[in-house]
Structure 1
Amino acid sequence: MAIILFDDKARNTLLPLTFTRPVADLRIGILTIAEKWGKYLQLDYSFHTEKYLQGKFPMVADSDNLFINGSVCPDAELVAIISELQTGEAIALDDVLLAVRLKMAEAKSFLPEVYLPGALKYDREVTRIVYPEHIFKKNDDELRKDFALLTDGRSSATLSSTNTIIGDAFFAEEGASAECCTFSTLNGPIYLSANTEIWEGTNIRGPFAICEHSQLKMGTKIYGATTIGPYCRIGGEVNNAVVWGYSNKGHEGYLGNAVIGEWCNLGADTNNSNLKNNYSEVKLWDYTSQSYRDTGLQFCGLIMADHAKSGINTMFNTGTIVGVNANVFDAGYPPKHIPDFSWGGANGFEEYAYDKMMETTARVFARREHRSFDEIEQAILTEVFELTKPYREF
């Protein structure tokens, strides 16, 4: 059987984070949503997503296919019910298709809305990622679930005796290293992936996870629930943030209630506000309505899409959305919606010149020997550049 994780209408409300990936490729907890389903079902997975993303995220159908909503995080109860679906059967929660099992012929013409009428009704709660702020808001629960999933039946590696570990919910994979650090699991588990480095003087309060080949610099302060994706370098103060991968926040500065995409770089002393001075609820820019949407949250910081960057001393206001490949600098607060491929700051923006953007992105990829800015990556950014032109009316 093949697992195919499909995008539904949540893909649009998750923009700009989903301009460059399928919904199921979002990281929340320790794993991406797709990796969670793969672990639970012990099967390979692929994606049903936008045409321009299919070169990087192709759909691989089989004679027997289980289509699963990519915005839904698995749990034991949901996995058990979906696993029992027979060919042609679908299951839905209200007007949201959760899963359907199809043969090859139907798989090739799959449309979620076709299978809602007549679908079995699911009457339990699910964890569904519909808006960008859901990623940090629900990260605590997903960290705990992923920790249990990944550590079941395994024993932690031993860290240096120079460290202090408080509590028992601690796990380090072989190759993780730390010296003179404190790890408190009293509020949640801590997971250190292989080949990670926690530098001297770092203090971490769980729940927390750091993925392979990432580093925390000296004196870093981490509050849960925080996830650092693979190949990142992080410093300063971080609270309830998810950094997906290949991104750097190497210096002092505060990052809180935030989501940072891949290939981002935050300049020294970049800070984001996560609480308004009048303590009112935060609004976020919404791509579907082209207006600001109530989040219902009092604490909501920065949402930054892939390839975006900030200069030194950048100040992001409460509830700021930064689009794909935006380059932000200047003194003062920039606007709370910074369109994709923008260049500038509080004093104004212009379009980030396409050729310069591609040159910079190629240089960033070149810093990682195992990643290449190939034709597939270039084609995705080219398509997103064109798709987002209407937002750049400076």
Structure 2
Amino acid sequence: MSPRLAELHPYPFQKLRELFAGLTPNPALSHVNLSIGEPKHPTPQLVKDALVDNLDGLAAYPATLGSDALRQSISRWIAQRYGIAAPNPATEVVPVNGSREALFAFAQAVIDPTAPQPVVISPNPFYQIYEGAALLAGAEPYYVNCLAANRFQPDWDSVPEAVWARTQLVYVCTPGNPTGAVASLDDWRTLFALSDRYGFVIASDECYSEIYFGRDKPLGGLEAAIKLGRDFSRIVMFSSLSKRSNVPGLRSGFVAGDAKVLEQFLLYRTYHGCAMSPTVQAASAAAWNDEAHVEYNRLQYAAKFEAVTAKLGQVLEVSLPDAAFYLWAKTPSGLSDTDFARRLYAEEHVTVLPGSFLAREAHGVNPGAGYVRIALVAPLADCIDAAERIVRLVGRL
């Protein structure tokens, strides 16, 4: 077996199961699970219909590059969403089986393990896939802390030049998981300048980009490149239908950007054997071609954030994020994030995820410690109920 497998850390939800081992939650209360970022809104009927109408696709092997129709629908969506020229669907768009699969596979294709001590930079806290992808590609993960003092954005200036010199890949998550923070144009300007200097590739994870509040759409990596007078050199974006269209089980997304990078990524995927089913491709195209269901989805999340943030703000340090469907809440003074999560589960039967499980101790601090991630994915009434239970727990502390 690969010795690199031994370097992997337990997944946050495994840690959560261990944290709750031996606890018996209050049997008088129904369980409200706000720990996992799994959308619970209904799947749009148009996606279901497209699946049923294209079941004949199950009889054919899919092409790794996907259908022209799907790539064109993705290219059109990018142009309309970000107000930029449509990427070339033949060379600058690759359909993938969800952003998670692609974020992992991308590192395997990009990293040159023969180079001296290659580095993959990740925000901290972070989506666990970034770390696992780096380790299994033979690279060293380097964590850049995202603290409140820096708008929960990575402090790129804190990275030593000796680390930049070995860096081959940088993961960006905007809107961020778990904080919901969105990278600004100045943030992108800084990162692009570093990429120009050191030659690393940027993987921009934007799977939460369509859950936002008001009219200000989160800035995307490709959009930032064009606004700064650049092309797509060394930048690719990852997006997904899971959150946008409430289809986490469809496993459908895309990677778009630098054609030279995607050419090599496509070669890797040809051997990887992860082409998307033609049936799923047809349903995916239907989803990318429709915005009405996405607008309705945003309204549902906005209602939950309006109700829940106001309640929790009475007892916790918490505020509306830039985007995404998480609240990044500071635990009460003197109570660790793990103790808070345990008591909340045992006494109020509400599950949230300790922030320390989403981060690594780096540069003398675990930037997730003292926070919990609250995923507002349950129905509105359940989210309000959970918020009231949290208020009740804090009142007893």
TM-score of the pair, normalised by structure 1: 0.26
Whichever structure has more strand as a proportion of its residues is: 1
Whichever structure has more helix as a proportion of its residues is: 2
TM-score of the pair, normalised by structure 2: 0.26
